Amino acid sequence: MKVTDHIKQAKGKTLFSFELIPPQKGRSIQELYDNIDPLMEFNPPFIDVTTSREEFIYIDRDGLLDKKLTRMRPGTVGICASIKHKYNVDTIPHVLCGGFTKEETEYLLVDCHYLGIDNIMALRGDAMKEEKYFNATEGGHCYANELVGQIVNMNKGQFLHEVIESDNQSDFCVGVAGYPEKHMEAPSMDSDIRWLKQKVDAGADYVVTQMFFDNKKYFDFVEKAKAAGINVPIIPGIKPVAVKRHLQLLPQVFKLDMPDELVRAVEKCKTNKEVREVGVEFAIQQSKELMEYGVPVLHYYSMGKSDNIKRIAAEVF
Ligand code: FAD
């Protein structure tokens, strides 16, 4: 079922959902199941599975280094299919512009359609580790709005190189990313909102936000988006702080601000166990306020660990 239909069906009740990262190549999918199992009692209507960018590895061949491109956490669509099958829940693969030609994207979307996947999260993708900025893949899309266009065209039977009339067309519901504190590359919040509007005009059905710790930033973002004519659901993304290093890492990677109250509380902690407690408490308060505001879904970035998300969900849902 589409995310937008889950939201309609909930009739104003806030839903619970979360995002998973595929295990590293060679590891077991059981790791994921072990983290999903404790969260199923909160009835997530959908679960997102991320896609990682490809990266270079260097293989030592008799003293000479061979540079190879590989994806360390492959399997997004397969994981979506297996979770959907095992738990009878909708799963949402993250589909990236980066690392994929338009043809490869088309084949991936065809696979998703055959697997009964109803939603796609359409993203440009991060820059590769070695790159300072995102470089479009040859034959791929440069921006997420173009990827949204490809998905919407396919829903109408317009494949890349042919129009196919069929009574079995895809009807994907499309999610896109939004940034309450502006995307790091955007020169201004207004320009970022204009590009977000372009994604929605291209056919995106809902927005999921980057993590944020100050709800006011989300409220302001929603107001700005509405003023710009963006009328699709905007789902907040929540990440509980879990280790002291997050104080530096999260602002550095995601270009976000943390409320001083949270920073001071984490700084006082002597162990990461204490930090986890602070992170859980903060996320509970943050989630409760967002729920009061009437958000359609609270979407948690689990980063492969469910114990703190379970504690938050138990207090909030
Ligand atoms: P876009 O919407 O294409 O925007 C990228 C930048 O270009 C922005 O600064 C925007 O303002 C600007 N812009 C947009 N369109 C245009 C245009 N037509 N012309 C000029 N400028 C334009 N990354 C992963 O690699 N894998 C994941 O699974 C993943 N999941 C994510 C899930 C969520 C909910 C979020 C919020 C992010 C996720 N990301 C993921 C990170 C995301 O890929 C990066 O933030 C990326 O840098 C931007 O992606 P986007 O889809 O927002 O890009």
Give backbone dihedrals phi and psi of 174, rounded to 5 degrees, phi first.
Answer: -115, 125
Ligand 1 in contact with 126 (CB < 6 A)? yes
CA of 208 relative to ligand 1 center, distance in Å:
11
Start-to-end CA distance of the chain, whole Å, equals 22
Which of 124, 146, 239 to mutate for ligand 1's pocket (most ligand atoms within 8 Å of CB)? 124
Per-residue confidence band for 227, with pLDDT thresholds at 50, 70 and 90 = very high
Tens digit of each residue's pLDDT (9 = 90 or more) over 195-214 = 999 999 999 999 999 999 99
Of the candidates 138, 127, 135, 107, which has an alpha carbon nearest to the alpha carbon of residue 55?
Answer: 127
Model pTM? 0.97
Ligand 1 in contact with 208 (CB < 6 A)? yes
- For ligand 1, atom 23: residue with the closest CA: 125
Tens digit of each residue's pLDDT (9 = 90 or more) over 241-259 = 999 999 999 999 999 999 9
Per-residue confidence band for 305, with pLDDT thresholds at 50, 70 and 90 = confident
pLDDT, averaged across the chain = 96
Per-residue confidence band for 117, with pLDDT thresholds at 50, 70 and 90 = very high
Ligand 1 in contact with 141 (CB < 6 A)? no
Question: What's the rounded Cα separation, in Å, for the pair 199 and 193?
Answer: 10
In percent, the amount of the chain with pLDDT more than 90 equals: 90
